[in-house]
Structure 1
Amino acid sequence: MSEGTMQRRAQRADLEVPATPSRQGGTDRRARRTGRLNRALVCAAAVPTMLIAAGCSSDSGSGDDAKKASESASSATASPSPTVQAAAYSKLPEACQVLSKKTLGELVPKGSKSGKEGKSDDLSTRASCSWDSLDNNGVDGSQFRWLNVSMLRFESDAARGSGDELAREYYAKQVKDAQSAAGAKNAKTESLGGTGDQATAVRYDLKKKEGAFKQQTVVARVENVVVTVDYNGAGLAGDKTPDAGDLMKVAKKAAGEAVGSVSEANGGSDSGGSSDASKSPSKSAGSSESSAGKA
Structure 2
Amino acid sequence: MLVAAGCSSDSGSDDGGDKAASASASASPSPTVQAAAYRTLPEACGVLTKKTLKDLAPKAKSGKQGSSDDVASRASCSWSSLDNNGVKGSQFRWLNVSLLRFESDTTRGPGDKLAKEYYDKQVGEVRATPDAKSLRAEALAGTGDEATAVRYDLKKKEGTFKQQTVVARVENVVVTLDYNGAGLAGDKTPDADALMADAKKAAKEAVLSVTKANGPGAAAGSPSSAPSGKASGRPSVTPSDAASASASGKS
Q: TM-score range by the shorter chain?
A: 0.7 to 0.9
C-alpha distance in structure 2 between counterparts of 1:269 and 1:219, whole Å: 24
Which residue number corresponds to residue 142 of structure 1? 90
Which residue number corresponds to residue 216 of structure 2? 268
C-alpha distance in structure 1 between counterparts of 2:104 and 2:145, whole Å: 18
For structure 1, the 5+ residue unaligned runs are 1-50, 271-291
By relative contact order (CA 8 Å, sep 6+), the higher-ranking structure is 2
For residue 210 of structure 1, report the CA deviation from its aligned partner. 0.8
Deviations 1:98-144 (A, max 9, x none): 00001111111121x32100011111111000001123433420111
Q: Are positions 1:106 and 2:55 aligned together?
A: yes
Find the partner of 1:202 among 150, 154, 157.
150
Change (3 A) 1:206 1:102: same
Which residue number corresponds to residue 103 of structure 2? 155
C-alpha distance in structure 2 between counterparts of 1:136 and 1:160, whole Å: 51
Aligned pairs for 1:251-266 (under 5 A) are 251-266=199-214
Identity %: 70
Contact 1:171-1:220 within 8 A present in 2 as well? yes
Which residue number corresponds to residue 33 of structure 2? 84
Structure 2 counterpart of 1:132, which letter? S
Which residue number corresponds to residue 234 of structure 2? none
Q: Are positions 1:238 and 2:186 aligned together?
A: yes
Which residue number corresponds to residue 230 of structure 2? 294
Deviations 1:149-196 (A, max 9, x none): 000111111122221111111111111111111210111110011100
Compute the TM-score of the two structures, normalised by the length of structure 2. 0.80
Find the partner of 1:181 among 103, 125, 129.
129
For residue 226 of structure 1, report the CA deviation from its aligned partner. 0.5
Which residue number corresponds to residue 113 of structure 2? 165
Compute the TM-score of the two structures, normalised by the length of structure 1. 0.69
Structure 2 counterpart of 1:99, which letter? L
Structure 1 counterpart of 2:124, which letter? K
Instruction: Give the SS at the match of 1:110.
Output: coil
Instruction: Give the SS at the match of 1:137.
Output: helix
Q: Are positions 1:93 and 2:29 aligned together?
A: no
C-alpha distance in structure 1 between counterparts of 2:26 and 2:149, whole Å: 49
For residue 267 of structure 1, report the CA deviation from its aligned partner. 1.2
Change (3 A) 1:107 1:160: same
Contact 2:100-2:175 within 8 A present in 1 as well? yes
Structure 1 counterpart of 2:179, which letter? Y
Structure 2 counterpart of 1:215, which letter? Q
Contact 2:87-2:184 within 8 A present in 1 as well? no
Structure 2 counterpart of 1:117, which letter? Q
Instruction: Give the SS at the match of 1:250.
Output: helix
Structure 1 counterpart of 2:26, which letter? T
C-alpha distance in structure 1 between counterparts of 2:119 and 2:94, whole Å: 22
Contact 1:170-1:294 within 8 A present in 2 as well? no
Structure 2 counterpart of 1:294, which letter? K
C-alpha distance in structure 1 between counterparts of 2:196 and 2:68, whole Å: 28
Contact 1:216-1:248 within 8 A present in 2 as well? yes
Change (3 A) 1:159 1:115: same
Change (3 A) 1:218 1:101: same
C-alpha distance in structure 2 between counterparts of 1:265 and 1:136, whole Å: 37
C-alpha distance in structure 1 between counterparts of 2:207 and 2:131, whole Å: 29
C-alpha distance in structure 2 between counterparts of 1:139 and 1:76, whole Å: 74
For structure 2, the 5+ residue unaligned runs are 219-227, 232-251
Instruction: Give the SS at the match of 2:86.
Output: coil
Contact 2:65-2:78 within 8 A present in 1 as well? yes
Contact 1:260-1:269 within 8 A present in 2 as well? no
